[in-house]
A and B are shown apart, each in its own frame.
Chain A
Amino acid sequence: MNKRVEELLQSWGNDKEQVPDFFSKGIDDVLNSLPGSNIKVDEKPKRIKWLGKGLIAASVLTFGVIGSGFVSPAMAQVLKEIPIIGSIFGGSSDTSLQIIEEQGLASQLNETITYNGISLTITEAFIGGGRIAIAYTIESDDIVLQNINNEQGVPLSFDAKLNGQQFDYISEFEQSVNNGIVTGIINMNYGLSYSLIDQPTLFLNVNEIAGVQGSWNFELLLGNEATSEVTEGFAPLVSATWDDATFVVERVEFTPVQSQVIFDSTMPRQEMGLYSFNIFDENGTSLGFGGGSGGAVNELENGMVNFRETVLLPGYEEAPNGIIIEITKNKGGLADPSNYLEVKVPLHETELPHSISYSDGSKLIITGYEQLEDKTIVHYDIEGKLSLQNTFLMLTNSKGEGIIELVEPERTSLEKLSFKREFEKSEGPVTLSTSMEKVNTIQCNY
């Protein structure tokens, strides 16, 4: 290519042009109109209708699902497994996919289609917990294939259907090239607006590999007995209502690779997107969060809508005995910053334990901190709202520089709701910051 054009393109890329005023204003308009931007602070708690177990909170609805009904789904058919040497899942950088190999959960497929001199073989596949993982190899003398790490890049393009129906999925890829052998994994998180039979068929239509158009169409029978045996799933059909919104826990499924909770939600159309779910085990420990997705929205009468939402969780070797679900309305999501107050606790000059109280009666109690050689640990207890265990905490040094958080919160006691967070090492005075909702309080003493 012409060197001058390349230089021009480089300069053009660095020339961050002025955005037209009307465009900038249009962005401001939409940012100002986002849900939550004009919320008034509640002066009294919302009315909450709750089915099952009584806990009243201003912004959180909690309900429990006791797992007495955990059962393994019966498999209609058992795949004939063809042993192959080594599993592609075992070489994945994703530890949850490595579990597929370790526990022999993959269905062995070994189906090959050759088109335009490119042979694509689907070697094995896994389905469970809202996840489909497909391992493949590619053989060709004509194309150059590349390593794809950290799920950045698309080595092949495809369409997929489950049992002949469209479904929502987000796909990521891994691919490695070793001594001319190309192996890869298509990793799909999916959400369905319909029930899945025990052993679904995935129609995988690959239409491009490394820039070469073609047609590699597979019909893959997913699911197997091994996965069924390690899957603990049940359909609790427990429901809760919040004003006009109703949530039904339709299915809970734990697998060692990934887990999911499927909700059937009905609510006024204007409330879509206002609710979020936090899921805990029976002891109140967060089960984490691995993303989520929604199914198709069905319009009902009187401005109501119905849809399925899937909350994905990490894999668990053993399912908890029950789960507790906290539903947060709006305030737990993106709310008006003017309604929020930043709370700073200079740890070096604060007498611990130090309690931070929230409008619904919940408390975050900083019980201590340790400045070790390699890390800083903050210890805290919570009372009330369980999602406080994951609340935003930021640690800064005396220069106001952020100290990076290293790992997810860890429960330190089952007797109390005690947790710790680990940050990078620090020296000298440190300040802990969090944000909490402002509340207009009128105190009346009689």
Chain B
Amino acid sequence: MNAEMLVKRAQLGDKEAFVQLIKDMESSLYKVSKAILLSDSECLDAVQETILIAYTNLHQVREPKFFKTWITRILINECNKIRKVQTKVVKMDVYLEPSISEQREIFVDLQTAIDSLEPDLRTVITLYYYEDLSIKEIGTILNIAVGTVKSRLNRARAKLSSLIEGHKVEGRLLHE
């Protein structure tokens, strides 16, 4: 059954359809939350909250085809809430975090470079390349203008080029 049919069935009361929708998106939910938050446990907190919100507000999705952008927007809001809390309590020190060990070897440098980007840039890179969302869709999800998405994407690419070519990846700043 395709995703749109699953959304429709879920809206009509089929919880199994909702479960399948979420399980199909597991990898996406993990990756998007990881673009904004530091630890896997924070990511799980955000994703769990997102699932609860999506479950109780599913009727708000007018067009099933927009479910993915709708739930991604909820997830980003939840991640940002956690990020704001962190910003209040964590000192603004430079924080070295080991690179993600489970990436394939070829992507280790790239993943480390992406992790070192500012969260705003990391988010657009993830949504564009990993989630295959269009620039307009990313603008909708992040509630920013199309021009801003483009400029963030260009800044992210330029930084990544510089980081990868210059091997300048040294660590990761805790959320600024």
Contacts and interface: CB of A to CB of B under 8 A. Distances in A.
Given A31-B18, A154-B142, A211-B148, 16 more contacts: A2-B161, A2-B164, A5-B161, A12-B107, A27-B23, A27-B47, A34-B51, A211-B146, A211-B147, A211-B150, A292-B60, A336-B15, A337-B16, A391-B12, A392-B14, A402-B5
A153 B129 CA distance: 18
A22 B47 CA distance: 13
Interface string B18-50: 110011001101110000000010011001100
A257 B158 CA distance: 47
B24 to A, nearest CB: 11
B129 A10 contact: yes
A337 B14 contact: yes
9 contacts: A12-B107, A12-B129, A15-B104, A16-B27, A23-B40, A35-B56, A154-B146, A212-B147, A273-B56
Interface of A: 1-2, 4-6, 8-13, 15-20, 22-24, 26-27, 29-31, 34-37, 143-144, 146, 148, 151-157, 170, 208-212, 272-273, 276, 289-293, 331-337, 340, 391-392, 394, 402, 435
Interface string B132-154: 10111101101111111011001
A15 B107 contact: yes
A331 B52 contact: no
Contacts of A2: 161, 164-165
A8 B129 CA distance: 10
A51 B9 CA distance: 33
Contacts of B132: 13
B52 A30 contact: yes
| Chain B interface residue bracket vs A | 35 or more
Contacts, number: 178
B65 to A, nearest CB: 10
A155 B114 CA distance: 27
Contact of B110 (A12, A148, A331): A12
Q: Which of A30, A146, A334, A335 is packed against the most chain B CB atoms within 10 Å? A: A334
Q: Which of B9, B134, B148, B158 is packed against the most chain A CB atoms within 10 Å? A: B148
A153 B55 contact: no
A26 B44 contact: yes
B48 A13 contact: no
B38 to A, nearest CB: 14
B130 interface: yes
Nearest to A390: B12
Interface string B109-133: 0110010000000000100111010
Contacts of A331: 13
B106 A154 contact: no
B125 to A, nearest CB: 7
A9 B55 contact: no
Interface string B51-67: 11001101110100000
B61 to A, nearest CB: 9
A35 B51 CA distance: 12
A337 B5 contact: no
A204 to B, nearest CB: 15
A208 B110 contact: no
Contacts of A8: 106-107, 110, 164
A208 B149 CA distance: 12
Contact of A17 (B10, B103, B157): B103
B93 to A, nearest CB: 27
A276 B59 contact: yes
Given A10-B129, A12-B111, A146 B146 contact: yes
A182 B52 CA distance: 40
Interface in B60-111: 60, 62, 69, 102-104, 106-107, 110-111
B160 interface: yes
A23 B14 contact: no
Contact of B30 (A19, A208, A276, A340): A19
B52 A34 contact: yes
B158 A17 contact: no
Contacts of A292: 59-60
Contacts of B29: 27
A154 B27 contact: no
B4 to A, nearest CB: 10
A234 to B, nearest CB: 25
B163 to A, nearest CB: 9
Nearest to B109: A8
B44 A12 contact: no
B60 A291 contact: yes
Contact of A153 (B56, B140, B151): B140
Nearest to A293: B60
A249 to B, nearest CB: 19
A392 B13 CA distance: 9
